Structure 1
Amino acid sequence: MTLDALRLEVPDILETEVAPLADLNEQLAQARLQPAELALQQALSLLFKLNRSAMTLLERQRALQSFSDQYRHYSKAYQGENPPTALFVHLCSELAIGFKRLLLQILQGRQPSRPHLAWCLYMAQHFLAQSLLRHYQLYQEPPPSLWRDSHLLYWIGEHQNCLDEPVAAAFTPQPANTMRGIYQQMLLLALSNPFHLADGECALLFGALSPLAELARLLPWDEDDEIEGPTIDLTEAQPCLSYAQTPEGSADYLRRFELGALLVALHEPAPLQSKAERQLLERVQQHWLGRQQRRHTRADHSSECSLAVGLPAIHAQLLEQRPLRTSAQMLDASAGGARLLCNADQAAQLSVGQLVLLITGSDTPTLALVRWRHLNSEGLHLGLRYLIGLPRSVWLRRAPSAQTHPGVLQSTPAPGNGWHHGLWLPNGQFVEGENVWLQLASAHNQAILPLPPANLVTASVTRYPMQLA
């Protein structure tokens, strides 16, 4: 199954004639003079008709900006503990429909600018988030299409490289200011057991999540990943898979919701956070990882350690060539990973997805991936995922006497007498199907092997499953 923007749920165009817009703002202003519910009904009727009428891109964009201003006006009545009316929930849904249709027009036209595309994606996601919030405030289950469209909008933003484009949008309760942030704000809200919140707490929680949501990350799926965290299937009509569900979709559309940096940030001073927000966040965070909060018992384990960062340094360390290493302090550890604290000036090289070799006083060095990171006044916090197996240095060539390229072979015993092997290489150095000559650093002979499809790709490195005699 291929995700496609045309799968966004929008109604058919019923009016082929372009709707007259010259007096739209006057009609909206006249509507405001009516009693609140009647005014909202008139504004909603106008939006409903426009969403089903043919309009140019510029006309639709201007109309939707006018209706966004109306939304700000009508939303003032539903702040605090006042529950929204069914009409207001319908307004949120219709605004989402309008921006989804505008997005389709943008994508079907000429190449859009990234800020313009990011703004439209953000606005569509924002009103889906508002629809989600308002359903939860009324203790109603959101429609399945809401999650299908939300996942699809995220996927489009991911592939158009505009998830982190900042958008200035003054709404209440406050949304995050990027596409990534507001999508993850929705996921966290859904994971917070919203039907058990008291009146008024849902909107309070949504606003409290605003400055924190971007710290989480959706990481590529890896079936060998034993680190705890919700699993997102971008093709499913639900926020995430339950712990009882086995991921069955294509790995291309599966993501692991990594919350490590967010969980660290929750315990930092936040002067702009109210006492009620802080207490609410402390209460709901237990739900974010489900009841199985950790697959491995994690214990405080304060000790000094160091890291060889990146494939070249790991390769050299395994050959005992003493490359430069990064000093760190281990704060806690488990069988699946560890949390470290490093100097803040190491942030540039220790990005999420970077391959590292963890070196402790007496233990065998452990290959690991940087799973999350968070920078604060203490320094750079890192979450490591251990890669179980024996790491070994290898050389790769495109021909027996060609230039050598360093790689790392991760070997894990398989049931019986065999081994599972994973070959780690920098991104883009070789391609799937290319024949490479592989030589272990401790051996003289070379073996020619075709590179199979990768089974894990991060922002820095790629892992290829290898069959070695």
Structure 2
Amino acid sequence: MTLNALHLEVPDILEGEATALADLNEQLARARLQARELALQEALGLLFRLNRSAMTLLERQRALQSCSDEYRHYAAACCTGTPPSPLFVRLCSELANGFKRLLLQMFQGRQPSRPHLAWCLYMAQHFHAQGLLRHYQLYQEPPPALWRDSHLLYWLAEQHDCLDEPVAAAFQPPPASTPRGLYQQMLLLALSNPFHLTEGECPQLFGALAPLAELARLQPLDEDDESDAPIVDLTEAQPCLGYARLADGGREHLRRLEVGALLIALDEPAPLQSSGDRQLLERVKPHWMGRQQRRHPRTEHEAQCRLVIGLAAIHADLAGQRPPQLSAQMLDVSPGGARLLCTADNSGRLDVGQLVLLMASSGSPTLALVRWRHINGEGLHLGLRYLKGLARPVWLRRAPSAQTHLGVLQSTPSPGNGWQHGLWLANGQFGEGENLWLQLASALNQTVLPLPAANLGTTVVTRHPLHLG
């Protein structure tokens, strides 16, 4: 499936007269004077007709803002512990439909500003989040279309670079304040075994996740990722893929939910967090980490270590030079990676996806990627993923005497087949299929080879598989 805004599920515009907007607020106010369910039914009927009426972008936006105010009024009863009625769940769905229709009108018109687009994506996602929450409150499975469109809204925010655009939204229970945070709030709620929560705990958990959800990160999935983290397929109508099931969608639509920074933050002091919220978060957090058993058991291991940061510095170190090194403290280790703590003033150089060389007090230096990071009062916490194999410096040129570019060759023994090689390059240096002259430190001659497609990439570096004779 190809992701596209046109795949959003919205009701068709019906032929006939458009709904009168001049007295919409008056009609909504009159509806409030009736008994709650009758009032809710009348407000829902008005919104239903609005969503199926042709109107300008500005008219639709004003109408939806009025209906959002009504939503706040009818949601107040759910905050008292009263289970939501089926009419209220349908109101959430219709509001999501309205904002998705508004979003399509934005894309069909002039290029919207990023804050305006982020607001519309956020509002559509918010009412999907409310629909999800209310279904869980009633111990009902959410409709598949809810997840399909939620993934698509996240993808659209990602494509238009507004995942982290702040949005002010006064709703209860409180949502996260960015499109990224709100979507991940939904994912974490769905992963928290919601049908096993007691009555009233689902809204409590949703609110407790609001200030924390942005700390999680959806990362692109690469072919040799051995993580146990939940895998999200943005083309599927479910929150995450089952662990026994292989992903059917294209790899570009697969994401791994990384919760390392979130788990660190849960242990930090949070004066505004109630003891009930804290206990609830502690109870559900094991469900966020994928399989019940880790692939690599983690062991507490406090020791000093050093880091060489970035491809150029790693190349220099491997070539026998003395680039700057960063001192850090190792907190725990596993065969797949490690958790480190260093001073926070190094955060500018250690982005997620940065290539580093880890040097412990014993053993050979280990090539690794920064998988997650989190800053608190202790300093900068880093989660590293080991890249197994021998790291060597290489030099690359477009012609035997052309400008030299630096690379790092990662070589791993392959039983019965010699070695598997991966060439790490800084992003943007070469294009796929380009012929390159490669030279190893131990070789006098250069080898010419076409650059294959990458099999692992981050925002900083890219790895290309090589077949060397």
Q: Distance in 1 between matches of 2:156 and 2:31?
A: 36
Identity %: 74
Q: Is the CA contact 2:47–2:94 (under 8 Å) kept in the aligned structure 1?
A: yes
Number of the residue aligned with 2:116: 116
Letter in 2 for 1:248: D
**Equivalent in the alignment of 2:246:** 246
Aligned pairs for 1:216-295 (under 5 A) are 216-295=216-295
Q: Which residue of 1 is the match for residue 90 of structure 2?
A: 90
Shift of 1:228: 2.4
Q: Does 1:29 align with 2:29?
A: yes
Question: Does residue 126 of the first structure (1) align with residue 117 of the second (2)?
Answer: no
The separation in 2 between residues aligned to 1:290 and 1:175, in whole angstroms, is: 24
Partner of 1:54: 54
CA contact (8 A) 1:296 1:335 kept: yes
8 Å CA contact 1:216, 1:262 repeated in 2 = yes
- Structure 1: how far apart are the matches of 2:104 and 2:457? 30
1:419 CA displacement: 1.6
Name the stretch that deviates more: 51-60 or 244-253. Answer: 244-253
1:442 CA displacement: 2.2
Task: Give 2:40's aligned residue.
Answer: 40
Equivalent position amino acid for 1:68 in 2: S
Q: Report the TM-score when normalising by structure 2.
A: 0.99
Structure 2 residue aligned with 1:99: 99
CA distance in 2, matches of 1:268, 1:108: 45
Alpha-carbon offset, residue 19 of structure 1 = 2.5
Q: Which residue of 1 aligns with 2:440?
A: 440
Unpaired runs of 5+ residues, structure 2, are none
* SS of match in other structure, 1:347: helix
For 2:75 and 2:234, locate their aligned partners in 1 and report how far apart those are by CA, in whole Å: 30
Partner of 1:378: 378
Deviations 1:105-127 (A, max 9, x none): 11121111111111100000000
Question: 2-side partners of 1:291 and 1:253: how far apart?
Answer: 21
1:335-350 aligned at under 5 Å gives the runs 335-350=335-350
Structure 2 counterparts to residues 171-186 of structure 1, below 5 A: 171-186=171-186
**Matching residue of 2:420:** 420
Deviation digits for residues 227-264 of structure 1 (CA, Å, limit 9, x no counterpart): 22101111111100121112232110001100000011
> Deviations along 1:16-46, whole A, 9 cap, x unmatched?
5433211111111111111111111000000
Asked if 1 retains the 8 angstrom alpha-carbon contact of 2:368 and 2:384, the reply is yes
Q: CA deviation at 1:93?
A: 0.3
Q: Show CA shifts across 1:37-93 (max 9, x none).
A: 111100000000110111111111111111111111110011142110000000000
The separation in 1 between residues aligned to 2:205 and 2:420, in whole angstroms, is: 45
Once the two structures are TM-superposed, the CA of residue 362 in structure 1 deviates from its matched residue by 1.9
Instruction: Tell me whether 1:296 sits opposite 2:296 in the alignment.
Output: yes
Using the TM superposition, name which of 226-235 and 8-17 deviates more: 8-17
Q: Which residue of 2 aligns with 1:153?
A: 153
Contact kept? 2:228, 2:291, Cα under 8 Å: no
Partner amino acid for 2:178? Answer: T
**Aligned alpha-carbon RMSD (Å):** 1.0
Structure 1 position 467, deviation (Å): 1.5
Cα deviation digits, residues 286-309 of structure 1 (max 9, x gap): 111234341111100100001111
Q: How far apart are the structure 2 equivalents of 1:381 and 1:248?
A: 34
Describe the superposition over 1:366-412 as per-residue Cα deviations: whole angstroms up to 9, x where unpaired. Answer: 11000000000000000000011111111111111011111111111
Whole-Å separation in 1 of the counterparts to 2:223 and 2:230: 13
Report if aligned partners of 1:310, 1:355 keep a CA contact under 8 Å in 2: yes
Amino acid at match of 2:101: R
1:398 matched residue in structure 2: 398
Partner of 2:351: 351
- Are the equivalent residues in 2 in contact too, given 1:227–1:337 (CA < 8 A)? no
Residue aligning to 1:387:
387
Instruction: Please state whether the residue corresponding to 2:304 is helix, strand or coil.
Output: strand
Contact 1:220 1:456 in 2 (8 A): no
Q: Aligned letter for 1:393?
A: P
Q: Which whole-Å CA distance do the structure 2 matches of 1:27 and 1:15 have between them?
A: 23
SS in structure 2 of the partner of residue 348 of structure 1: helix
CA distance in 2, matches of 1:94, 1:437: 59
CA distance in 2, matches of 1:145, 1:464: 37
Read off the aligned partner of 2:214 and give its amino acid letter.
E
Partner of 1:463: 463
Contact 2:315 2:406 in 1 (8 A): yes
Cα deviation, 1:91-144, whole Å, max 9, x if unaligned, reads 000000000111111112111111111110000000000000000000000000
How far is 1:457 from its partner? 1.6
Name the TM-score, length of structure 1 as normaliser: 0.99
3-state DSSP of counterpart to 1:394: strand
Which amino acid counterpart does residue 23 of structure 2 have in structure 1? D
CA contact (8 A) 2:217 2:257 kept: yes
Native 8 Å contact 2:223 2:456 kept in 1: no
Distance 2:454 2:167 in 1: 35
Shift of 1:354: 0.5
Q: Conserved in 2, the CA contact under 8 Å of 1:227 and 1:385?
A: no
Aligned to 1:366: 366
- C-alpha separation in 1, matches of 2:328 and 2:81: 47
Paired with 1:408 and 1:274, the residues of 2 have a C-alpha distance of 49
Deviation at 1:452, TM superposition (A): 1.4
> Contact 1:19 / 1:50 at 8 angstroms: preserved in 2?
yes
How far apart, CA to CA, are the structure 1 residues paired with 2:207 and 2:333?
A: 33
Task: State how far apart, in whole Å, the 2-side matches of 1:209 and 1:57 are.
Answer: 33
Distance 2:450 2:221 in 1: 24
SS in 2 for 1:79: helix
| 1:213 corresponds to | 213
Indicate the SS of the match to 1:357: strand
